[in-house]
Structure 1
Amino acid sequence: MSQTPPSTLVFDVLGTLLDEDAGRLAAVQALGAGTVGDAPAFVARWEEVASAAMTAVREGRRPYAVAEVLGAEAVAAVAAEQGLELTDDQVTWLATAGRRLAPFPEVVAALERLAPAHALVALTNAGSAQAFAMSRAAGLRWTTLVSGEAVQTFKPDPRVYAHVVRTLDLVPADCLFIAAHPWDLDAAAEHGFRTAYLDRPGSPQADLADLARRFDHVAADLAALAEQLLPVG
């Protein structure tokens, strides 16, 4: 027996709908030639340090701070590691890069196509101010937007998924959780969500077969997922 189509689509945003890696790299490069010698290496280390800080928050080893604050700390730490002298304004420019991210090419049109048949919910690790700014800048259409800031932690902490279920009075089995991160989908599945993986990395065919067994949907991008979800004709 086929499942009833989901009534609500719950989206991860950073890396799924917005190209966070490209946006951070562009922000570093915008500082000007010679400011950061190896921009990709700087971004990779920045992401590593910021991710470790989020893990420390989830594990209770440090107090909660919004992602932009953790990002500023990470940028400053990496600059010090690499012997770079960044001004406060430059650190702020990098830490707020998430407000200026471009959507992946198909995203805006695909959201518009999905909206008539579904409620569209963003569930993001970005703080509320960043989430508002980045959605507006990218032209993302939401029914509502929920930040982990409300429960002072970050995905994949179970409290984030429980919060969106409780706050919006969702029935997870009637929802499809969409992300480009398997860890996010696994955590959502633990709360009863159906799952859809967007293959932003461009995985090998063997990996895609494994992901298809693990999640309810696998698609190359949001436009391809919309083709799976919407009726023909």
Structure 2
Amino acid sequence: MGTSGRPVAVVAGTDEVLGSDPAYERLLTGAERRRADAFLTAGGRADFVAAHVLVRLCAARVLGRPADSLVLEQHCPGCGSGEHGRPALAGLPQVYVSLSHTAGVVAAAAGRAPVGVDVERGTLPDSVRGAAGRVLSPAELAAMREHADGDAYFLRQWVRKECLVKLGRTTLGGLAAVDLSALPVGAGSGPERLSRHGDLYVLDRTDARRDAVATVVSTARPRFGPVAATLTGPRRPGSPKVRRT
């Protein structure tokens, strides 16, 4: 195995991921291609594809095997569709994966413990500000009003709660019932901060270079891995190595 199996997450630019391999779409399944082709904009399609490529690269790094040997599946327990739902690796139920994408930035995570990752751009869209009452608990709403940067507070709690949804710990309709007000929000000693919420590790990252805010949550202690090493990860013997400039 390429690493200890601890969940590893990576945040990267969409162009970084797609530029790492000119034949990246060969990794996608037919279902993924259909979903990608349904996007109305080229940017949205690129973000979707990049996230689905990156999650394979993260899993390849954890497993120490080529990304093109991994098949990503999604299954919705509600409607039974294989076109959406929580992602998983075919034939590898002991490996957990998660992915996220926003405009121009993607994130993915993989490990041998349940894991959820989410990323958003650092600038909060006006359309999202009005969602605070549906997303935050009463204690969080009070903390947001007192915080020096209310938008930053809301955005951090938003990505954390998105991770909890992906872990199956809550639903989109139940976000306000989850209270994360005890977790720190704001500048720490560096770009990352690790907290605990019950049995979960909550690792926050602020990526100023990509104007992104990301969080990875897991039952095991996660880490953010290096972008370059992930994008040039395990390859099949004899396969060409991607040059990075």
- TM-score w.r.t. structure 2 length? 0.28
Greater per-residue strand proportion: 2
- TM-score w.r.t. structure 1 length? 0.29
Greater per-residue helix proportion: 1
